Amino acid sequence: MAKPILKRIESRFKKLLKQALLFFLQRKDAEPVELESIRKVLVFRLDQRVGNGILLIPLLKAISEAHQPIQLHFLIHHPIASLLAELPGVKIDRTWAYNQPQLLSRPWRYISLVKSLRQEQYDVVLSSNNPDNFSLSQAIFGRLMKPRCLVGFDARDSAPFFDIAVQSSTRQHYSKSMVDLWKAVYPPANWSSGGLQVSNERKIELVKRYPQFGSGGILLWLGATGRKVLPGTLFAEIHQHFVETARRPIHFVAGPADEDHLADYPAWIREQTLIWRNSLSDTATLFSLMDGFVSADTGPMHLAVALDVPTLAIFLNDNIIQYGYQVPQRHQAVRWTGTADSRHELQTSLRQFVARLKERSPQQQAGLYGRRI
């Protein structure tokens, strides 16, 4: 009985807190921002999940491709900020690195960041929280910027905090929902995948350290978390399929956090797996060398798509419509349940994946140093 009472008290407290914050941070009754008057835009996200940051790249592309001069600023978890600072492809005028633990442990730095952002006098600020949820901290942070127009998603009583509250849905891709934020003020905006680029200099430098990747191939990323972890036996079957049909090098790679679940994989997979401890920029460079990328539903999969590396994503539990890509000839997502129908669907997807690789030109099939696979 005590637990439901505490829950009701907590719910009531949150409601009162929202009302108090709305009193101090209420929306101003301003006229809509005219498209022609938009000169400076900030996109921000406060959480520390790398995949969520990567999923914002189509939004950044849409803003940078607007048919008028706009300064684009981006505030994001610091590893993503470093990645975008080092790799070209998306025009960002200023990237603000957000280190949440550091800022919260030193509140004066948080206050200084807010003051610096407020001085930018943004015309539009886009709060890129999940479209089906409400982050009070994101809404407060956006209001503290004092932009002419704050845009966010209309979810769970969030609308009063925003000048424009955007309706969206989990029945479309997450990154398309993000572009909806910009469409609310710039209707001609378009969604597209890809965007990140890696220079040949970075590729050559990485291959000097890891010569096994110089001829490209197919990367099987074994990393995943929680309920997204695929069984090792499934990766063994996928590997065998590629050995028989793809005629390309096959690489097993996983992150340091994945070593625990790799203990349950077949010994021969563990022996062939490279535990990748490098930076996010090095990870992007590694992916860019590959002819194809296969993984579970993970942040690295979104990075491979951002680099426009052909991908096949295998989903266990998450919303495949919201997080999986279905881009003809480039990216595909398939559901795995272990049933005969699921196995048949996966085999069909694998054949299509290999067929797409074989359609690549001789120049594309050549490795970094011109070696044919």
Residue with tokens 């049909």: 245
The angle at the Cα of 175, spanning 174 to 181, to the nearest 5 degrees, equals 100
Structure confidence at residue 213 (pLDDT)? 97
The identity of residue 78, as a single letter, is H
Residue with tokens 């914002």: 56
Residue 260 lies in a domain: yes
Strand 164-166, strand 149-153: pairing: parallel
Residue 310 and residue 236 share a domain? yes
How confident is the prediction along the chain (373 residues), in pLDDT tens digits per residue?
A: 455 555 455 455 455 555 555 545 555 555 567 878 899 999 999 988 888 999 999 999 999 998 788 999 999 999 999 998 888 778 899 999 999 888 888 888 999 999 999 999 999 999 998 888 888 889 999 999 999 999 999 987 788 899 999 988 888 999 999 999 999 999 999 998 888 999 999 999 999 999 999 999 999 999 888 889 999 999 999 999 999 999 899 999 999 999 999 999 999 999 999 999 999 999 999 999 999 999 999 999 999 999 999 999 999 988 899 999 999 889 999 999 999 999 999 999 999 999 988 876 444 545 554 443 3
Which of 117, 149, 183 is at the close of a domain?
183
Residue with tokens 């795995």: 336
Residue 159 and residue 228 share a domain? no
Structure confidence at residue 28 (pLDDT)? 54
Question: Based on the structure, what is the number of domains in the chain?
Answer: 2
Interatomic CA distance for residues 313 and 293, integer angstroms: 8
Interatomic CA distance for residues 270 and 264, integer angstroms: 9
Report the predicted TM-score, pTM, of the whole model to 2 decimal places: 0.88
Residue 40 and residue 153 share a domain? yes
Structure confidence at residue 10 (pLDDT)? 44
Residue 299 and residue 339 share a domain? yes
Residue 248 and residue 354 share a domain? yes
Residue 150 and residue 217 share a domain? no
**Cα distances (angstroms) measured from residue 19 to each of 14, 15, 24, 25, 154:** 9, 6, 9, 10, 17
Residue 109 and residue 153 share a domain? yes
Structure confidence at residue 22 (pLDDT)? 52
Residue 193 lies in a domain: no
Residue 321 and residue 206 share a domain? yes
Interatomic CA distance for residues 312 and 349, integer angstroms: 8
The identity of residue 81, as a single letter, is A
In 37-77, alpha helices (H): 50-54, 57-64
Residue 247 and residue 219 share a domain? yes
Which residue in 373, 221, 346 sits closest to 283, CA to CA?
221
Which of 183, 209, 227 is at the close of a domain?
183
**Cα distances (angstroms) measured from residue 49 to each of 54, 103, 110, 139:** 9, 17, 20, 18
Task: Please say whether the beta carbons of 38 and 186 come within 8 A.
Answer: yes
**CATH code, domain with 142:** 3.40.50.2000
Interatomic CA distance for residues 332 and 315, integer angstroms: 11
Which residue in 119, 122, 181 sits closest to 155, CA to CA?
181
DSSP β-bridge partners for residue 219: 251, 293
Residue 159 and residue 217 share a domain? no
- What secondary structure letter does DSSP report for 99? -
Interatomic CA distance for residues 98 and 32, integer angstroms: 29
Structural domain range at position 37: 30-183
Interatomic CA distance for residues 53 and 281, integer angstroms: 14
Token pair recorded at residue 354: 């290999």
Structure confidence at residue 29 (pLDDT)? 54
Residue 60 lies in a domain: yes
Which of 183, 209, 232 is at the close of a domain?
183
Residue 13 lies in a domain: no
Residue 12 lies in a domain: no
DSSP β-bridge partners for residue 366: 372
Residue 206 and residue 177 share a domain? no
Residue 162 lies in a domain: yes
The 3-state secondary structure of 75-86 reads EEEHHHHHHHHH
Residue 258 and residue 220 share a domain? yes
CB neighbours of 363 closer than 8 A, spacing ≥ 6?
none
Q: Read off φ and ψ for residue 126, nearest 5 degrees.
A: -105, 115
Which residue in 123, 121, 128, 36 sits closest to 74, CA to CA?
128
Residue 269 lies in a domain: yes
370: left (phi over 0), alpha (psi -120 to 50) or beta: left
Residue 195 lies in a domain: no
